[in-house]
Structure 1
Amino acid sequence: MPADEYPDPTTSLLELLNLSDADSAHTDEEIFVGARRSQPNQRVFGGQVLGQALIAAMRTVDERPIHSMHGYFLRPGDPDQPITFGVQRLRDGRSFSARRTHAYQNGVPILSLIASFQVDDVGLEHFEPMPQGMPDPESLPSTAELLGKFDHPVARAWAFERPFDIRHITPALYVQSKGKPTATNAVWMKTTAPMPADQSLHRAALAFASDYTLLEPILRRHGMSWVAPGMSVASLDHAMWWHRPVRVDEWLLYVQQSPSASGARGLAQGRIYSQDGLLVASVAQEGMIRVPRDGKSKVIGALQKQVMAQKLRRMASQK
């Protein structure tokens, strides 16, 4: 299907974030139902569940923007089944509100998160500066330009159905890993079309997009791509802090790094900047990354060599 025949994916994003009330449900939770969307890998994208769970929580809070969330992915989601969101009001104080949201399928939770909201306030101000020397996003190829030529359902979904235009500054890892192995990654991103002005929508959409490339610095550090044979990757948890108002329909710089990987898990951290250099959000996620047995032996062998080299350097320095 030619690219211009695909529906606008930002419209799909807005439909996913437009939850309906479930008036017939009677529990200690306030219940909402999210739209579903078929996906070629038969698993609900984690960012979708995050964004929808946050919208559900936001529906129960008046005039207090979200400033942080901490969530766990408990089970893979089925894209062919509806997702029900149950929100529990944990606290409403003078300045802060807290909500717990569970996302359910078939009567069991697939995601559990707690979100915190705060009235607008003033105080101390500082932030880590935006990295310098980044290329202009318009000068970089889009995902559609990189993957649109491949006749594969996953490639075409990533190229034409994602609601965000993602442009890699470090070489993309879709089909191969290029360059020196390093535990860093950087992309520009924005929605494919303008969004309504509602700041809650923009913050939920940013959570949606923050799950796209966050595990890539772990893969890049070990010279792996998303199509490595036999590799299994899944997000385990997700934490996010919104520092300042944000617009996701304007270019955002997402810089990521991984401080550690072990035990078939990797930790990734990210900072998201507006194009004029303001730090608007920070993200952290641990992911499960299982590699094929032969790949494991290579990784373990490389680690053993590093440990032995460190021991030899220490011994030499003590002489």
Structure 2
Amino acid sequence: MRKRSIGLTRLPRALEVGILEPLPAMLAALNLVDTGARTNEDIFTGPSQWSPQGRVFGGQVLAQSVVAASRTVGEERPIHSMHGYFLRPGDLEVPITFAVDRIHDGRSFSTRRTQAYQHGLPILSMIASFQTVDEGLDHQTPLPEGLPDPESLPDEREQLAAIDHPMARFWANGRPFELRHVDGPIYVEPGDERTAQQAVWFRSRGRMPDDPAVHRASLAYASDYTILEPIWRRHGVAWATPGLKAASLDHAMWWHRPARVDEWLVYVQESTSASGGRGLSHGRIYTRDGALVASVAQEGMTRVPASA
């Protein structure tokens, strides 16, 4: 079995990640350092991208955990599912250590557990499954009809540039993906319709390496951006709502078909429940020609002041 090579060896490491453009910074963060296998574990380390909130972006740790697990599986077995729990906020100033436990290798499937650590404590725990490429039954839920093309929607960088706030500047210029909400973003205002559904087009801000493993990990990265927004949209809450407290609690993802994240993808999302200070959202990611690429589910903490 040949180990997977992510193919990013020419990119800078932790000390230079903070000064890179957003897309190279993401790829550098995914370029984990293999520190060598220990007893029953493979150990990798990686840096974090800068964020004005001072916390590590959850999608980054998910993607890095996918990369770490993928490095211990042969290239002939791509990841098809993962389930992760966010345990603690990440520290931007400290590298993240990823310990991979090779739980099982069967004739068709491999299972891995990845624990992400900082300061000797786990910040994320993930279990992932990999499968040899196979043939079988094939069907999918179709792409909803009537979605506008991404080119017809406003560039959200221009909308965010008009907001004089560090988070707005970061969302406009610091993220490796560009986003275009079909019904308008809810950064400042929640929108007029109280609906628990939304759709968001996204793609990376530039050409990506051709390695399919990089695209699968990057898809996990991007899947964490907007998945909780249908909860807030349903209740008239915007990102800028005073006193809003939100955090991802767990994240599940299933990869169905290959896709490139440097081409437009549309993320169709719905929240099915909110109660007890938590909300649950589901998402389906499609190519623009209608192929279902991945399915996502996430529960998050969503605490909103009573006066909001």
* TM-score normalised by the chain length of structure 1: 0.88
Gaps of 5+ in 2: 1-18
Deviations 1:223-260 (A, max 9, x none): 00001101100000000000001110000010000010
Give the equivalent residue in structure 1 for 2:106. 93
Q: 2:249 aligns with which of 236, 261, 264?
A: 236
Q: How many angstroms does 1:211 deviate by? A: 0.3
Structure showing greater radius of gyration is: 1
2:304 is the counterpart of 1:291: yes
Q: How many angstroms does 1:37 deviate by? A: 2.1
Equivalent position SS for 1:230: coil
2:174 is the counterpart of 1:144: no
Distance in 2 separating the partners of 1:75 and 1:222: 27
Q: 1:41 aligns with which of 31, 39, 53?
A: 53
Aligned residues of 1:130 and 1:279 also touching (Cα < 8 A):
yes
Distance in 2 separating the partners of 1:252 and 1:37: 23
Give the equivalent residue in structure 1 for 2:184. 171
The structure that is helix-richer by fraction is: 1
Gaps of 5+ in 1: 1-5, 296-319
Distance in 2 separating the partners of 1:148 and 1:137: 19
Distance in 1 separating the partners of 2:196 and 2:228: 10
Distance in 1 separating the partners of 2:50 and 2:143: 37
Q: How many angstroms does 1:56 deviate by? A: 0.3
Aligned residues of 1:19 and 1:56 also touching (Cα < 8 A):
yes
Q: How many angstroms does 1:197 deviate by? A: 1.0
2:58 is the counterpart of 1:53: no
Q: How is 1:115-130 mapped onto 2 (pairs within 5 angstroms)? A: 115-130=128-143
Give the equivalent residue in structure 2 for 1:311. none
Q: 1:201 aligns with which of 214, 225, 232?
A: 214
Give the equivalent residue in structure 2 for 1:79. 92
Distance in 1 separating the partners of 2:213 and 2:172: 27
| 4+ residue runs over 4 A deviation | none
Give the equivalent residue in structure 1 for 2:8. none
Out of 176-185 and 92-101, give the one that drifted further. Answer: 176-185
Q: How is 1:244-263 mapped onto 2 (pairs within 5 angstroms)? A: 244-263=257-276
Aligned residues between the structures: 289
Give the equivalent residue in structure 2 for 1:276. 289
Aligned residues of 1:8 and 1:192 also touching (Cα < 8 A):
no
Q: Which residue identity lines up with residue 41 of structure 1 in the other structure?
A: Q
Distance in 2 separating the partners of 1:203 and 1:216: 23
Q: Which residue identity lines up with residue 259 of structure 2 in the other structure?
A: V
Give the equivalent residue in structure 2 for 1:307. none
Q: How many angstroms does 1:7 deviate by? A: 5.0
Distance in 2 separating the partners of 1:293 and 1:134: 34
Percent identical = 62
Q: How many angstroms does 1:39 deviate by? A: 1.0
Aligned residues of 2:47 and 2:94 also touching (Cα < 8 A):
no
* TM-score normalised by the chain length of structure 2: 0.92
Out of 8-17 and 221-230, give the one that drifted further. Answer: 8-17
Deviations 1:112-150 (A, max 9, x none): 000000000001000000011111101112221111222
Distance in 2 separating the partners of 1:280 and 1:71: 19
Give the equivalent residue in structure 1 for 2:9. none
